[in-house]
Structure 1
Amino acid sequence: MINEIQINPPVATYLNPTRLSDLRRINYIFGANGTGKTTISRVIAGDQGYDHCQLVWQGGGALERMVYNRDFVDRNFNQDGPLQGVFTLGENQVEAEREIARLRPDID
């Protein structure tokens, strides 16, 4: 479980060091647009460019992180096909769809 999220500037809308502490097993983070919700999710996900921010784990051992945010949707829901609104879920499936599209001229 994450005990604390430390966000260290410079990053997005955070101009001062910020700590989210006293976290529980389930936490809800909400706010207006531009207040840093996506930044928090990117810190949790361990995205590149957020290495200077830190997660403090209970017991010191990191657990698997699964973050569902706009970045996840962009990576995993393929909207490049001719049928918009028909989704292929999973990073492997998106790569397979791209490979099929790349090979389509040879197939035809």
Structure 2
Amino acid sequence: MITEVDLSGTPCFAHGQKLSNLNTINFIFGPNGSGKTTLSQIFQNSADPRIQWDTNSITDIQVFNREFTANALASSAHLKGVFFIGKGAASTQAQIDTLQIKLTAEEKATTQAKTALDALLQEEDDIRTKLDNIAWDTKKKLEPSTLFPYLRGTLRSKATFTGSSELSVGGGI
């Protein structure tokens, strides 16, 4: 157990000031600027030379101050009324929030990419349709005997004719 704490050299206490008559569990409270945070920072380092221990003591100190609360408690941004408790919970929640923002941005980028892909596929389909129509119109203007050797079986059907553009046709037209 802590028997005494020398407060000399701290911003809120006079030189030679000591905190004594401590118990196993101590609650420190007071108005703003009275030295609560300064004391808690001293207590967080059990090896601090300003702390005097009795000879049979356990040197484990738990300090529950604003710093502890900021590090150990975090509220969920997504689940109202849900709090995470534990060492590092606040930083873990901050990491989760950062990853959630990144995920949302990636989902938005994916949606935009899919939209762009759909537009390009539609444009490709429109170009193929336009090409098929131009080829059919051009075929209708030519003498059948000129095309017959190259397009056997495709002269009477536009569907068959436009499908032949995927075949390798020998010779020139």
Q: TM-score, normalised by structure 2?
A: 0.48
Aligned to 1:4: 4
Whether the aligned pair in 1 keeps the contact of 2:6 and 2:51 (CA below 8 Å) is yes
Aligned to 1:25: 24
Aligned to 2:91: 95
Q: Are the structure 2 counterparts of residues 74 and 94 from structure 1 closer, same or farther at C-alpha, using a change threshold of 3 Å?
A: closer
Q: CA deviation at 1:2?
A: 0.6
In structure 1, distance between residues paired with 2:80 and 2:96: 17
Whether the aligned pair in 1 keeps the contact of 2:5 and 2:51 (CA below 8 Å) is yes
In structure 2, distance between residues paired with 1:35 and 1:43: 15
Structure 1's unaligned 5+ residue stretches are none
Structure 2's unaligned 5+ residue stretches are 108-173
Q: Are the structure 2 counterparts of residues 80 and 12 from structure 1 closer, same or farther at C-alpha, using a change threshold of 3 Å?
A: farther
Structure 1 vs Structure 2: percent identity of aligned residues?
A: 30
Aligned to 1:68: 64
Whether the aligned pair in 1 keeps the contact of 2:76 and 2:83 (CA below 8 Å) is no
Aligned to 1:40: 39
Aligned to 2:135: none
- Per-residue deviation, residues 65-86 of structure 1 (Å, max 9, x unmatched): 1111111111122247355653
Q: CA deviation at 1:8?
A: 2.2
Aligned to 1:14: 13
Whether the aligned pair in 1 keeps the contact of 2:2 and 2:51 (CA below 8 Å) is yes
> Secondary structure of the equivalent of 1:71?
helix
In structure 2, distance between residues paired with 1:97 and 1:33: 29
Structure scoring higher RCO (CA < 8 A, sep ≥ 6) equals 1
In structure 2, distance between residues paired with 1:103 and 1:29: 38
Whether the aligned pair in 1 keeps the contact of 2:71 and 2:88 (CA below 8 Å) is no
Of Structure 1 and Structure 2, the greater helix share is in 2
Instruction: Report the RMSD for the aligned CA atoms in angstroms.
Output: 2.9
